């Protein structure tokens, strides 16, 4: 049973998790890739031995955590591999990926995860704790990719603020990563922003606006399918009452990793060759009611990618090299 009774904000205690490792193996299943393709509406070359599209490795290596060991938010309880941070909201803050060799569909791969940083700090929104996990994915006895995954833990949303205007900054606030916190520009609180669209049950997720842009139209079905593909039971992605009443979002939260995946797809499409690196940072939430645009801009060897809401608010930014 995963312990959840010893949650703490004692930095010395949390530092004990530094260096902790976890190992997983999985088959890069063609069937899983085909389901992802059906979910997002992309049609890459999906055959056994073909390269896995960028960031689709997030569909694999998930622990089979028992439903009895999930917390109220749907996440696995803390105190196992991840440190027992006594802050209730857990979100992706961003990441940095280096691609070394293609991951091939239909073959087994392994992932070693290691906690490399645990930092507690105070921000505009209260107590924060940042955890960085380094993932190394191998296949055929060679390294395929190395990823630094930033996780942020935050305080519960204040009830008074939620009653005034539902919604909070999810994945993630301007303090997205310790090394950029001091220089990050303030982000508008989404509680002050209007909902830009209506709830869609289904429909095409993507529209290619131009060679350098995608228009994304979220639907409840797309969010549910991506949650299922990634074995993600975090309730902010499917339980509207929980979103509004407990975490105070105005709607279901569009997965940050899915946004990053679509951005990486566009970057690789514009660049015309496989990615060498991809760095991304979440700045503001995207909801299932937000129609948003992903745009790529070429700057020499670098491609910068942004995800913006209809009102122009920047939700995620990324850069890619080849």
pLDDT digits (tens, 9 = 90+) for 154-164: 998 765 343 33
Is 171's pLDDT higher than 90? no
- 177 found inside a domain: yes
Determine the average pLDDT of the residues in 110-117.
Answer: 99
- Under the banding of pLDDT at 50, 70 and 90, the label for residue 264 is very high
Sheet with 206-210: list strands edge to edge.
Answer: 21-27, 108-123, 126-139, 142-154, 89-99, 277-282, 314-321, 302-309, 292-299, 213-216, 206-210
Of the two residues 113 and 170, the one the predictor is more confident about is 113
The per-residue pLDDT for 197 is: 66
The per-residue pLDDT for 77 is: 83
Which CATH number characterizes residue 136's domain?
Answer: 3.10.129.10
Is 135's pLDDT higher than 50? yes
- Under the banding of pLDDT at 50, 70 and 90, the label for residue 174 is very low
- 283 found inside a domain: yes
Highest mean pLDDT: which range of 3-7, 126-130, 218-222: 218-222
Domain that holds residue 59: 11-321
- 158 found inside a domain: yes
- 243 found inside a domain: yes
Is 5's pLDDT higher than 70? no
Q: What percent of the chain has pLDDT over 90?
A: 78
- 4 found inside a domain: no
Side-chain-side CA neighbours of 124 within 13 Å: the count stands at 15
The per-residue pLDDT for 112 is: 99
The per-residue pLDDT for 44 is: 85
Q: Diameter of the chain by CA atoms?
A: 55
pLDDT in tens, 177-204: 333 332 233 333 433 333 456 899 999 9
The per-residue pLDDT for 262 is: 99
Is 275's pLDDT higher than 70? yes
Is 170's pLDDT higher than 80? no
Q: How many domains does the chain have?
A: 1
Q: What percent of the chain has pLDDT over 70?
A: 86
Q: Say if CB 126 and CB 69 are below 8 A apart.
A: no
CA distances from 89 to 1, 168, 249 (A): 21, 11, 12
- 6 found inside a domain: no
What is the average pLDDT score of the chain? Answer: 88
CA distances from 205 to 151, 217, 242, 258, 312 (A): 26, 5, 24, 11, 20
Statement: the pTM of the whole predicted model exceeds 0.85:
yes
The per-residue pLDDT for 168 is: 33
- 1 found inside a domain: no
The per-residue pLDDT for 184 is: 33
- 97 found inside a domain: yes
The per-residue pLDDT for 6 is: 85
């Amino acid at each position: 049973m995963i312990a959840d009774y010893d949650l703490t904000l004692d930095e010395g205690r949390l530092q004990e998790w530094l260096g902790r490792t976890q190992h997983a193996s999985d088959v890069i299943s063609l069937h899983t890739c085909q389901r992802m393709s059906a979910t997002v509406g992309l049609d890459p070359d999906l055959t056994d031995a073909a390269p896995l599209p960028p960031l689709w490795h997030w569909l694999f290596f998930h622990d089979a955590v028992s439903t009895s060991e999930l917390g109220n938010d749907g996440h696995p309880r803390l105190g196992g591999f991840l440190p027992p941070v006594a802050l209730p909201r857990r979100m992706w803050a961003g990441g940095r990926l280096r691609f070394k060799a293609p991951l091939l569909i239909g073959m087994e791969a392994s992932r070693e995860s290691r906690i490399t940083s645990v930092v507690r700090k105070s921000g505009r929104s209260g107590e924060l704790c940042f955890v960085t996990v380094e993932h190394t994915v191998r296949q055929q006895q060679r390294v395929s990719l190395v990823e630094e995954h930033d996780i942020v833990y935050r305080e519960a949303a204040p009830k008074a603020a939620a009653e005034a205007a539902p919604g909070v900054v999810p994945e993630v606030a301007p303090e997205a990563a310790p090394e950029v916190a001091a220089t990050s520009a303030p982000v508008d609180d989404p509680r002050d922003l209007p909902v830009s669209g209506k709830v869609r049950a289904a429909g095409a997720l993507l529209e290619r606006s131009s060679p350098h842009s995608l228009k994304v139209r979220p639907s409840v079905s797309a969010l549910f399918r991506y949650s299922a593909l990634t074995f993600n039971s975090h309730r902010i992605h499917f339980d509207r009452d929980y979103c509004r009443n407990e975490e105070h979002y105005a709607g279901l939260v569009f997965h940050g990793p899915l946004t990053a995946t679509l951005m990486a797809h566009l970057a690789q499409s514009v660049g015309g060759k496989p990615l060498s690196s991809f760095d991304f940072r979440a700045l503001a939430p995207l909801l299932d009611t937000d129609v948003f645009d992903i745009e790529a801009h070429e700057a020499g060897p670098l491609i910068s990618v942004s995800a913006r809401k209809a009102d122009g608010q920047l939700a995620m930014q990324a850069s890619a090299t080849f």
